Amino acid sequence: MTGRAPRSPQGVDALQSNLGHFFRDQSLLRQALTHPSAAVEEGRGRLMSYERLEFLGDAVLHFHIADLLFDCFPTEDEGVLSRLRAYWASEGVQAETAKALGVDRCIYLGAGEERDGGAGKERILASALEALFGALYIDGGQKACGKLVAALWKGPIRQSGLEVLSRDAKTALQERRQARGKPLPEYRTEAGAGGFVSTVLLEGKPAGEGRGSTRKAAEQAAAKAALTTLA
């Protein structure tokens, strides 16, 4: 491989081992791990970054998570299944999964993104994970993708059951607003001491405030506070 080195010399091999799939076409794996900033710096252009594979992988991942949920919750309706899929396919869950696989240790970043700690950003990790599923679909087919989704998600899904629906306060607040024909919530989130502070606005008025170590956690806390007020 050319270009910027992985964050760990053994990162790519360890990642493939964790995926349970060693790519026949290593260029696909390299592309799935290449942030647009790195592709541009290397003179290869954004088309050689993970963005196109991310587009494909998003569909692949959502399909297999939906398939898994359909089997795990045979008595739940479409609304519950949709909310469950929204949680398990969310940026935060994808980022955690990517980190557990070791994506943060082998992603290729441009110099600026490297300095900014891009390997730890949820958005980048989630995008790279979706790109990996796009690459896996091309290299190994649907069966390999389904096997990986089951390995990564089936245990947590069965263990958590419907409990995750109460954790996803943002979705619950949005659905409540939609059901009443009201404008969707807006979030004002800023970095603060030790994390982030978020205020959720309903029709332009503050309705709840939350703090968290990440932007997502702060917004979830703000949404939960607003739901408590509305109850």
219 is catalytic: no
Residue 153 contacts by C-beta under 8 Å, 6 or more apart in sequence? 65, 68, 88, 97
Q: Given 51, 58, 122, 168, which residue is catalytic?
A: 58
Give me the residues paired with residue 205 across strands. Answer: 202
CA distance 63 to 38: 29
**For tokens 């390995």, what's the residue?**
151
209 is catalytic: no
CA distance 104 to 40: 20
Q: Which tokens go with 156?
A: 């947590």
Main-chain dihedrals φ then ψ at residue 106, nearest 5 degrees: -140, 10
Q: Given 54, 122, 130, 168, which residue is catalytic?
A: 130
> How many angstroms separate the Cα of 163 from the Cα of each of 20, 94, 134, 139, 160?
29, 18, 30, 35, 6
110 contacts 16 by C-beta, under 8 angstroms: no
Q: Please list the active-site residues.
A: 58, 130
